[in-house]
Structure 1
Amino acid sequence: MPSWEGKSKGSKFGYSCFVFLLKHGGVLPAYLLLRFVACYYFIFSWSSSKPIYHYFRTKVGYSRWRALWALYRNYYVFGQTLIDKVVVMADIPNSFTFEFEGEHYLREMIAGSKGGILLSAHLGNWEVAGHLFKRLQTRVNIVMFDGEHQRIKTYLSGVTGDRNMNIIVIKDDLSHIYAINEALSNQELVCMHADRFLPGNKTETLSFLGKDARFPMGPFLLAATFRVPVSVVFAFKESSRHYHFYATAPRLYHGRRNEGVTAALQDFTREVAEKVRRYPVQWFNYYNFWE
């Protein structure tokens, strides 16, 4: 069973240091500080380094030294994506550029007056596509585990503001299901990651990058149950100031529910595997995903 515990690393002090640099010096000073932070995690955070190093060696096929260099780059790029997300959502002046591949698919989903589900993974930085969500001029609901410390979430929400986004927290009482149903009934978009699960969640096992891995059934059950258009979305950092956004053609998953779940899961993992091969350094699951 994967050892992810639904919690994010980091402290309020760490976030505040980067936000201070962003507001008073821009992105470059924050990136400079990030080099030292990435080096710290590279040297001292063996619990997260070990699975990523193993991923580069066995799933990507890198040599030992290339895998070590990729591990450091992985930490550095991950830090950049966190910084970039704050910059974009807080409207801090920046020179980022964006390429939107498949934006018309999302506009078709909105125009269809059915709402829709957007699935993604902890790969790249699709949250930075909030820049695109403002262009779509529709309400976006983000479904997530309540894994970050409340004081950090409160601090960041004060920095980034609302931006017409609504957070739906996954809870044991299943109240998030009703919130998702309400959002889709209002023809809104519902976004969620579909690659992680907590102990006790229902999962489905299938081959992913050459070895069996478990995926949560919840997102795919929702896709088959509500029968609204589903698109798989990603955003990848292609240079220090450029992002490439991808959205797949929307698909409806009809038929019996189990058949719909299987089809949705297979489509999702196929898209994720293709993007992992293209952007291997931007895989951000810091635990043994294939355990």
Structure 2
Amino acid sequence: MPSWQGKSKGNKLGYRIFIGVLRYGGVWPAYFLLRFVALYYCIFSYQSTRSIYLYFRQKLGYGRFRSLAGIYRNYYVFGQTLIDKIVVMAGIPNRFTFEFDGEDNLHGLVSGQSGGIMLSAHLGNWEVAGHLFTRLNAPINIVMFDGEHERIKSYLQGVTGGRSVNIIVLKDDLSHIYAIHDALSKRELVCMHADRFLPGNKTVDAQFLGDTARFPMGPFLLASTFRVPVAFVFAFKETATHYHLYATTPKTYPSAKQGGVSESVGDFVGAMEEKVKKYPLQWFNYYDFWSKD
């Protein structure tokens, strides 16, 4: 069965075309062009299309026609979030509005004495949320796999002026653990996804949408090891120009020996499932998330 390989799709030419349209025509012409791109992926990206179809059909219980229509709508919304990310990060004029639900929770996380961890997933538009969290007036560190193709990444950094946060890259030598510890010791915020893993990573099983799925153990083990407050953060596109951001009340989990990992996994998966059911089109894991392989 297909699994996530730690790399994003797309190529430099595709990014160049959309960024050119955004600069000279704005968001709406880019959205129009996206309609054809979404159709292309529906037809020619078999593995991801099949995975999204099974997500709608088996996990959400949609009928066949609704599931097929959901594939195209999912690709289209995903493309919109990528365009929106570039618009916001590059400072291109736009009419986007944002609603924060639980922003006080994040300010409480910042004002604490120990730093904090923000966990999210590949739902909605995390990049837009991460960019806007700079208003918290606190150093933000984002932990990620360095899986983007270097040419695309360097091109985007040239367009957006680079990221406004510190990036901690996951490495085999575990140097990222020391970087995370250093950031938390300085009372900074550490953000990471907690829904994907690469082959060979330690995982933990949890019931998600009625079936067993595997989640990376690392983020939850870090939360239990460092014993700092943890908040779950998501951002969803509700209309063409409006985003809704969510942040849960920070919670400090006990050590792993005291069940901290299983408790944090349960809380995170519960929050994740709630948001998936509310925003079903904004599930952006294009592989067999429930694979037993």
- What SS does the corresponding residue of 1:18 show, helix, strand or coil? helix
Q: Residue by residue, what CA displacement relative to the aligned partner does 1:198-245 show, whole Å, maximum 9, x if unpaired?
A: 111000112111001111100000000111110000000000000000
5+ unaligned residues in a row in structure 1: which ranges?
none
> How far apart, in 2, do the equivalents of 1:130 and 1:124 lie?
12
> How far apart, in 2, do the equivalents of 1:181 and 1:131 lie?
22
> How far apart, in 2, do the equivalents of 1:228 and 1:33 lie?
45
Q: Report the alpha carbon displacement of residue 164 of structure 1 after superposing the two structures with TM.
A: 3.2
- TM-score w.r.t. the length of structure 1 is 0.97
- TM-score w.r.t. the length of structure 2 is 0.97
> How far apart, in 1, do the equivalents of 2:287 and 2:257 lie?
31
Deviates more, 1:1-10 or 1:175-184: 1-10
Kindly indicate whether the alpha-carbon contact (under 8 Å) linking 2:232 and 2:268 is maintained by their aligned counterparts in 1.
Answer: yes
Q: Report the alpha carbon displacement of residue 161 of structure 1 after superposing the two structures with TM.
A: 2.3
State the match for 2:30 in structure 1. 30
- What SS does the corresponding residue of 2:259 show, helix, strand or coil? helix
> How far apart, in 2, do the equivalents of 1:175 and 1:69 lie?
44
> How far apart, in 2, do the equivalents of 1:269 and 1:120 lie?
10
5+ unaligned residues in a row in structure 2: which ranges?
none
Q: 1:171-250, aligned counterparts within 5 Å?
A: 171-250=171-250
Kindly indicate whether the alpha-carbon contact (under 8 Å) linking 2:221 and 2:256 is maintained by their aligned counterparts in 1.
Answer: no
> How far apart, in 1, do the equivalents of 2:151 and 2:70 lie?
32
Q: Residue by residue, what CA displacement relative to the aligned partner does 1:71-114 show, whole Å, maximum 9, x if unpaired?
A: 10000000000110111111110000000000000000111132
> How far apart, in 1, do the equivalents of 2:11 and 2:162 lie?
22
Kindly indicate whether the alpha-carbon contact (under 8 Å) linking 1:142 and 1:167 is maintained by their aligned counterparts in 2.
Answer: yes
> How far apart, in 1, do the equivalents of 2:199 and 2:163 lie?
32
Aligned length: 291
- What SS does the corresponding residue of 1:168 show, helix, strand or coil? strand
Amino acid at match of 2:160: T
Runs of 4+ aligned residues of structure 1 deviating over 2 Å after TM superposition are 161-164, 255-258
Amino acid at match of 2:80: Q
Kindly indicate whether the alpha-carbon contact (under 8 Å) linking 1:124 and 1:237 is maintained by their aligned counterparts in 2.
Answer: yes
Q: Report the alpha carbon displacement of residue 258 of structure 1 after superposing the two structures with TM.
A: 5.6
Q: 1:141-180, aligned counterparts within 5 Å?
A: 141-162=141-162, 164-180=164-180
> How far apart, in 2, do the equivalents of 1:140 and 1:255 lie?
24
Distance 1:134 1:206, change over 3 A: closer
> How far apart, in 1, do the equivalents of 2:56 and 2:39 lie?
18
The alignment yields a C-alpha RMSD, in angstroms, of 1.2
> How far apart, in 2, do the equivalents of 1:173 and 1:212 lie?
30
